[in-house]
Amino acid sequence: MSLLEIHNLSKSFKGLLANDKICMELKLGEARCIIGPNGAGKTTLISMISGHLFQSSGIITFDGKNISNHDLVKRVRLGIGRKFQTPTLFDNLTVYENVELSVIRNNYSNFEKNAKIDETLKLIRLFDEKDVPANTLSHGQRQWLEIGLLIGNNVKLLLLDEPTAGMTTEETIATTKLINNLSGEKNLSIIVIEHDINFVRELGAQITVLHLGKIFAEGNYSTIENNKFVREIYLGAPDVVS
């Protein structure tokens, strides 16, 4: 059964169609990359799934429930978590306190809570940094910490908006592993918006190409790579080519 089903989802801003009748399905444990030039409507789509924006029309079903009219908090509580484009963290709190804030929403016992925090910290490779304030972390580490906040929150669906932006090559590779680990072992469903084509290739997930608010192409990396029209729209937006 699909975890997430999107049916004919549209969003218009003052008459401008940012998303036009998007249909998409995502299975439990499946990772999906969404690529497309600037202004293709990628962030709009993610925002409608996370509940930061409401659709103009269409239906979103999650875990068998119609969540189209659920607000942000309700969706988070069902298990949809979002990482923003620029990491939003509790900058002056320590890494540990950051994760703690996400974990304590579930009324764990003290023992469970500590176990969950430690597990999350190890997963995002920040266990050794747990007592430093979040604002002293490197850019890449901040991205991980934000993913950690979502894991600690017990999400089923992760929405990652450019998780590798500003990362070094090593950090990008580690992130790829992390995401594969989350979808493979932890059985989380993941939607990743990405610009970095190398990352998309390494991740090896199914790809959805958005263009002008519509789904333009779908398939695995080699199908997309060989799609003439995809190459054309990417050449039209040089900053995306890498």
Partner 1 sequence: MQNVLTKISGEAKFELLIFLALASIPLVFSGYILFILPQYMLFGLLAVSLSILWGLTGIISFGQAGFFAIGAYAIGIVVKSTFLMNSAILGILLGIIVSAVIAGVVGYFLFSAKVKATYFVLATLALSIIIEQLAKSQKEITGGWNGLFVDRISISFGDLLEYSLFNDIPMYYFTLLLTTIAYALIKFLTTSNFGKILRGIRENEDRILALGYNTSIYKTLIFCVSGALAGFAGSIYGTHAGFVDPSLARVLFSTEVIVWVAIGGRNSIIGSFLGGILVASLANYLNSITPEYWQLIIGIVFIAVVILFKGGLAGGLEEIYHRLKSKNYVSARNP
Give the residues lining the site for partner 1 (CB under 8 A): 50, 72-73, 76-77, 81-82, 84, 88-94, 96-97, 100-102, 104-105, 130-133, 135-136, 149, 153
Instruction: Enumerate helices (H) and strands (E) in the chain, giving the number of each.
Output: 9, 10
Nearer to partner 1, 92 or 222 (CB): 92
* CB under 8 A, 24+ apart: contacts of 169-178: 171/138, 171/140, 171/143, 172/196, 172/198, 172/199, 172/202, 173/202, 174/125, 174/140, 175/140, 175/143, 175/144, 175/199, 176/202, 176/203, 178/123, 178/124, 178/125, 178/144, 178/147
| Cβ–Cβ < 8 Å for 40, 69 | no
Q: What are φ and ψ of residue 47, in 5° steps?
A: -65, -35
Region of residue 224 (phi > 0: left; psi between -120 and 50: alpha; otherwise: beta): alpha
Rounded to the nearest whole angstrom, what is the least distance from the CB of residue 77 to partner 1 in the complex? 5
Q: 58 vs 152, which CB is nearer to partner 1?
A: 152
Q: Quote the least distance from Cβ 134 to partner 1, whole Å.
A: 9
Choice between 50 and 183, CB closer to partner 1: 50
Contact status, residue 137 vs residue 145, Cβ threshold 8 Å: yes
- In the complex with partner 1, the residue whose CB is nearer, 62 or 234, is 62
Spell 35-55 as b/e; 16+ CB within 10 A means b: bbbeebbbbbbbbbbbbbbeb
Which one, 84 or 221, has the nearer CB to partner 1? 84
> Nearer to partner 1 by C-beta: 131 or 239?
131
Minimum Å gap between C-beta 6 and partner 1 is 20
- Distance of closest approach, residue 136 Cβ to partner 1, in angstroms: 6
Residue 82 CB, shortest distance to partner 1, in Å, is 6
Closest distance to partner 1 from the beta carbon of 233 (Å) = 31
